[in-house]
Amino acid sequence: MPNEKTGFLIHRDAYMHVMALSPEQRGELFGCLFWFAERVAQRGYLDVTVAAAQCTNLTPEAKMAFRFMADSIQRDTMKWRDKQSSYLAAAERRAEKRKESAAPMPFKGKGVDVYPSEEEHKALLEG
């Protein structure tokens, strides 16, 4: 995709759960969240439980916090991808409309559609 997602959100509702962890576990959790966000941005959907199992330095409490925070990161990333797809599709539709409207339109004369000859058409485009 031309527009790469470069960030992720940490929602405030996770504050009390994260603050219950030791400073070391908060650091490990933060590192795992960055790792997870990068993988989701690259690959799309990932199973959060499988990802949590790969974060071997987390305590069970930190893994629980990881799971619900990773769910949020994944949901936000998928929503962002959907929006990007619809924005790109809309941009393509607008570009097609511009191409169509840029085509020379026939002009009307005395109530009858009159189309220019090839030479007149070239002269209109050039000049």
Residue with tokens 């405030």: 12
Tens of pLDDT, residue by residue over 66-98, are 999 999 999 998 898 888 888 888 888 888 888
Task: Reply yes or no on whether the pLDDT at 106 is more than 70.
Answer: no
What's the burial of 26, exposed, middle or buried (CB within 10 Å: 0-12/13-18/19+)? middle
Neighbours of 76 (CB within 10 A): 17
Q: SS in 3 state form for 63-90?
A: HHHHHHHHHHHHHHHHHHHHHHHHHHHH
Residue 116, amino acid: P
> 1 pLDDT band (50/70/90 cuts)?
very low
